[in-house]
Structure 1
């Protein structure tokens, strides 16, 4: 088995067919793909849905021999992904969320790329919030990172998603998604990066992320940034990252942004103060924040942000 595709499902009857059809279309009469993949499996993990999602998943399993459907009590996204990993048998594995989709002709060139040269993780573009005013296309560029820490330092912490990547399944032999944690993708990447995989990034293929206004992340923005900061601090601690080094300053700035919003809500400071470079960030606002941290300190910068953002 070459590729296992895991789709966790929970109450997504309105979008599930779109998602599954986009995956199956990758392999339907696609002779280019058949040159690089002997077989694949699509694992539909129904995580205790209370709508018609489970029935829809059963329909696909009955119709297509490559589709396997599982039903389990509700346990959350991480639990469902872990369940899928337990049953996956492909040499490679990828994840698709059930309210998203995969753009046409994505997997064929990606699977070819996995072998030329061989890599452990392959990252490809993601279209975020299609059709909305803030629609953005993330493109990781064309790179090969022999050391995963180099990928992480090259803005990797800003796109620690699993859905726009194909992984060697053996990377998950002793790794599972954390249960009951937010930003589980970033926390899982910590354990993957510890194995020092070779990561390749490309600018072709596309994962399409549809924004869910009813999702947990959308409804819990206030607590979300605090959880993000906690996940970032865990990453720094677990991987032994010294944010005083210049190549990690952009990561520190990302953490600073989460810290500012956390302080505005709770007046707590989790981030350690340090001096950072003033330039080389995504926006002029980051350079301004860096200047403030270097001149008036972290705590005063947090207080100023809270005052000005009321």
Structure 2
């Protein structure tokens, strides 16, 4: 692929924007100074209360590649959905407004995709602080030194095992991968990436992972995901269920793998911490409790005939018993 050809494909970079005036200018400049120039930058202002809307409008007036969408506050998912619906590019890349990308990210991904015959390119990332300084990080996602070409099944397995993170800013994919499945992010929830990552992996044909650090994730105070809360935990469980439902429907041959991996992760975590978080911390209502038990039963059905570890058996027995209902009811009444 000739990166400078007149018929080079358009790439849509979609950025949800909400109250990030301190970092937005740098992020926009990194996007607009890409070595691959045939891009459109879609800034979706989610009713910011700071100067972010004005910053977006300024850049739209000074660079014809920038388009701005102003909408009522609906969260990251709603903003991304609006950007995706508006995108005209042959390829889609999602970027967060407070992070930074390497100026050759788009060119590197398209070249690698073309050379390998892939239709999804994933890359590595690191962590920076609020002032842009590099922070020490050790992501399991980055534990590879050579390019990997994977089937959807292989990549889904790696994602379930947390060897591939669920961040949408860590890959570039064709727009057709989204449009052919009527894709959308779950509005009103915070763990939207994990909920939908396998939908993109699973609808690709060849997934390429390149050992290039192309994204710099900014760790800052006040971040929505920087706070552990009941809402975040609840969203995490829902995201995991969305992911499993997709795999169960689209790749039924992987359902036993998913069930065993999930139960082993829970079983190998400190049991008392899980019990306290779910029973006391989340204050699960009877309907949610019943749903959780049904999910466990689905896992057991998928694993019929498989030997389970003693830790997993203890976990399952507790949540299938009346003890969890009694303990949760007592917590709600106190």
For normalisation by structure 2, the TM-score amounts to 0.73
Q: Deviation at 1:40?
A: 1.2
Question: Is 1:110–1:205's contact at 8 Å kept on the other side of the alignment?
Answer: no
Q: Deviation at 1:118?
A: 2.8
Q: Deviation at 1:136?
A: 3.1
1:292 aligns to 2:315 (yes or no): no
Q: Deviation at 1:258?
A: 10
Partners of 2:125 and 2:193 lie apart in 1 by 15
Question: Is 2:160–2:258's contact at 8 Å kept on the other side of the alignment?
Answer: no
Match of 1:264 among 256, 259, 276: 276
Q: Which residue of 2 aligns with 1:97?
A: 96
Question: Is 2:128–2:217's contact at 8 Å kept on the other side of the alignment?
Answer: yes
Q: Which residue of 1 aligns with 2:60?
A: 61
Q: Which residue of 2 aligns with 1:145?
A: 150
1:217 is paired with a residue whose SS is helix
Q: Give the aligned CA root-mean-square deviation in angstroms.
A: 3.2
Write the deviation string for residues 17-55 of structure 1: whole angstroms up to 9, x where unpaired. 11111222223xxxxx46xxxx11111111111110011
Q: Which residue of 2 aligns with 1:20?
A: 28
Q: Deviation at 1:186?
A: 2.0
Q: Which 5+ residue runs of structure 2 have no aligned equivalent?
A: 1-8, 324-334
More helix by share: 2
Q: Which residue of 2 aligns with 1:184?
A: 192
Mean CA deviation greater in 154-163 or 198-207? 154-163
Question: Is 1:243–1:252's contact at 8 Å kept on the other side of the alignment?
Answer: no
Q: Which 5+ residue runs of structure 1 have no aligned equivalent?
A: 28-32, 279-289, 304-310
Match of 1:163 among 161, 169, 174: 169
Partners of 1:87 and 1:246 lie apart in 2 by 37
Partners of 1:243 and 1:114 lie apart in 2 by 26
User: Relative to structure 1, is the Cα distance of residues 228 and 64 closer, same or farther in structure 2, using a 3 angstrom cutoff?
Assistant: same
Q: Which residue of 2 aligns with 1:287?
A: none
Partners of 2:238 and 2:101 lie apart in 1 by 30
Partners of 1:169 and 1:48 lie apart in 2 by 26
For normalisation by structure 1, the TM-score amounts to 0.78
Partners of 1:94 and 1:152 lie apart in 2 by 20
Q: Deviation at 1:248?
A: 6.2
Partners of 1:250 and 1:192 lie apart in 2 by 21
User: Relative to structure 1, is the Cα distance of residues 157 and 69 closer, same or farther in structure 2, using a 3 angstrom cutoff?
Assistant: farther
Q: Which residue of 2 aligns with 1:281?
A: none
Number of residue equivalences: 282
Mean CA deviation greater in 186-195 or 88-97? 186-195
Write the deviation string for residues 153-209 of structure 1: whole angstroms up to 9, x where unpaired. 024562111011101101111111111123111222243345354221111142111
Q: Deviation at 1:265?
A: 2.3
Q: Which residue of 2 aligns with 1:113?
A: 112
User: Relative to structure 1, is the Cα distance of residues 134 and 117 closer, same or farther in structure 2, using a 3 angstrom cutoff?
Assistant: closer
